[in-house]
A and B are shown apart, each in its own frame.
Chain A
Amino acid sequence: MTKVVEGKNIVRDYHVGGGLFRPARTVHAVKGVSFSVDKGKTLAIVGESGCGKSTLARIITLIDPATAGELLIDGNKVDIARDGLTKDMRRKVQIVFQNPYGSLNPRQKIGDVLGEPLLINTDKPAEERRDLAMKMLKKVGLGPEHYNRYPHMFSGGQRQRIAIARALMLNPSLLVLDEPVSALDLSVQAQVLNLLADLQDEFQLTYVFISHDLSVVRYIADDVMVMYFGEAVEYGPREEVFSNPQHSYTKTLFAATPRADVASIKARLARKAA
Chain B
Amino acid sequence: MALLDIHNLVVEFQTASGPFRAVDGVSLHVEEREVLAIVGESGSGKSVSMLAVMGLLPWTATVTADRMTFNGRDLLKMSPAERRKIVGKDMSMIFQEPMASLNPCFTIGFQIEEVLRFHMGMDKAQRRARAIELLKQVGIPEPEDRLNSFPHQMSGGQCQRVMIAIAIACNPKLLIADEPTTALDVTIQKQILDLLVSLQAKYGMGLIMITHNMGVVAETADRVIVQYKGRKMEEADVLSLFESPKSNYTRALLSALPENAVGDRLPTVSDMMFEPAPSGAGA
Chain A residues with a Cβ under 8 A of chain B: 48-49, 156, 185-191, 193-194, 197, 212-216, 218-220, 252-253, 255-262, 264-266, 268-269, 272
Q: Which residues of A contact B242 (CB under 8 A)?
A: 260-262, 265
Interface centre among B217, B243, B256 (most CB of A within 10 A): B256
Q: Which residues of A contact B201 (CB under 8 A)?
A: 272
Instruction: Report Cα–Cα, A264/B216, bound state, in Å.
Output: 12
Q: Which residues of A contact B260 (CB under 8 A)?
A: 260
Question: Which residues of chain B from 200 to 214 have a CB within 8 Å of any chain A CB?
Answer: 201, 212-214
Instruction: Report Cα–Cα, A191/B41, bound state, in Å.
Output: 14
Chain B residues with a Cβ under 8 A of chain A: 41-42, 185-190, 193, 201, 212-219, 238-239, 242-243, 252-254, 256-261, 264-270
**What 3 A-B pairs have minimum CB-CB distances, sorted nearest first?**
A258-B215, A187-B269, A256-B190
Q: Are A258 and B216 in contact (CB under 8 A)?
A: yes
Instruction: Report Cα–Cα, A193/B214, bound state, in Å.
Output: 18
Subset of 22 A-B contacts with CB under 8 Å: A48-B188, A185-B42, A186-B256, A190-B269, A191-B270, A193-B258, A194-B266, A212-B185, A212-B186, A214-B186, A215-B257, A256-B190, A258-B189, A258-B190, A258-B216, A259-B218, A260-B217, A260-B218, A265-B218, A265-B242, A268-B218, A272-B201
Instruction: Report Cα–Cα, A44/B177, bound state, in Å.
Output: 32
Instruction: Report Cα–Cα, A4/B170, bound state, in Å.
Output: 59
Q: Which residues of B contact A265 (CB under 8 A)?
A: 218, 238-239, 242
Q: Are A193 and B219 in contact (CB under 8 A)?
A: no
B235 to chain A, nearest CB (A): 17
Q: Are B264 and A197 in contact (CB under 8 A)?
A: yes
Q: Are B41 and A252 in contact (CB under 8 A)?
A: no
Given known contacts A187-B269, A257-B215, A261-B218, what 5 new A-B pairs fall within 8 Å (CB)? A48-B188, A190-B266, A190-B269, A220-B258, A253-B186
Are A197 and B257 also in contact (CB < 8 A) when A49-B185, A186-B212 are?
no
Q: Which residues of B contact A213 (CB under 8 A)?
A: 186, 258
Q: Are A187 and B185 in contact (CB under 8 A)?
A: no
Q: Are B268 and A194 in contact (CB under 8 A)?
A: yes
Q: Which residues of A contact B42 (CB under 8 A)?
A: 156, 185
Are A256 and B189 also in contact (CB < 8 A) when A185-B42, A265-B239 are?
yes
Q: Which residues of A contact B239 (CB under 8 A)?
A: 262, 265-266, 269
Q: Are B257 and A186 in contact (CB under 8 A)?
A: yes
Q: Which residues of A contact B212 (CB under 8 A)?
A: 185-186
Instruction: Report Cα–Cα, A188/B270, bound state, in Å.
Output: 9
